[in-house]
Structure 1
Amino acid sequence: MYEVKHVLSANGVDIYQAWLDTVQDTRSKARITTRVDRASLGHFGVTEPVGDGVFEMKLDFGPGFRVYYAIQDRKIVFLLGGGSKARQQNDIDQAKVLWKSYKVQQK
């Protein structure tokens, strides 16, 4: 099992939660949350590394939702953001910056 943590931006914003709050369809929001819950149990589903230790969890519904995360010590999943296929590269870049910043703060 993994512990799930939300990484905050430099100004204290939970990027993942802020994105999830923009998902209007309650069914999609529930499906996204269920997918993250499954990941906490080690069932990540379809994922791909996107570089710098960041992974993209692909969700095959809605506009092609994505959840960005990183894993540390095989114990903790850090949620770094979310988005859709349409903004994929911007979301990946943002997740990488957030992960890099988080790691620097932990040293």
Structure 2
Amino acid sequence: MIEIRKYLRNGESPFDERFNQIKDKQAKSRITARLTRLAMGNAGDHKQLSENLFELRIDVGKGWRVYYTKEGAQIVLLILVGDKPNQKKDIKEVRSWLDE
């Protein structure tokens, strides 16, 4: 099983902040299910955006994305969750955090 942790920025989890704002219960359920599968080693529909940045694509509602990076073979850091309309802005934000 892969250990999944959350990226912290100033002691807070941007992932949790955004996830808790999602009102669509089906989207939240599907995101949670995908993270469970990711922990079991099955990333499913995903894309490598750069050397150290990946996105899980969840095809429900607005088209949700979970951005993450890897530390070694067994740890995944969840960075942010967002929807397709905000994808470019979210990726830019995540990349700036990883470059810090």
Shorter-chain TM-score tier: over 0.9
Measure, in 2, the Cα distance between the counterparts of 1:31 and 1:89.
Answer: 22
**1:67-97: per-residue Cα shift (whole Å, max 9, x none)?**
0001111110100101011010111112222
TM-score, length basis structure 1: 0.87
1:35 and 2:34 matched: yes
Amino acid at match of 1:91: D
The more displaced of 62-71 and 86-95 is 86-95
**1:41-90: per-residue Cα shift (whole Å, max 9, x none)?**
11101111112410011011110100000111111010010101101011
What pairs up with 1:66-81 in 2 under 5 angstroms?
Answer: 66-81=65-80
Matched length? 100
> How far does residue 99 in structure 1 lie from its aligned partner after superposition?
2.8
Measure, in 2, the Cα distance between the counterparts of 1:74 and 1:52.
Answer: 14
Structure 1 runs of 4+ with >4 Å offset: none
What pairs up with 1:43-54 in 2 under 5 angstroms?
Answer: 43-54=42-53
TM-score, length basis structure 2: 0.92
Query: Gaps (5+ residues) in structure 1?
Result: 102-107
The structure richer in strand per residue is 2
Query: Gaps (5+ residues) in structure 2?
Result: none
Measure, in 1, the Cα distance between the counterparts of 2:76 and 2:37.
Answer: 11
1:91 and 2:93 matched: no
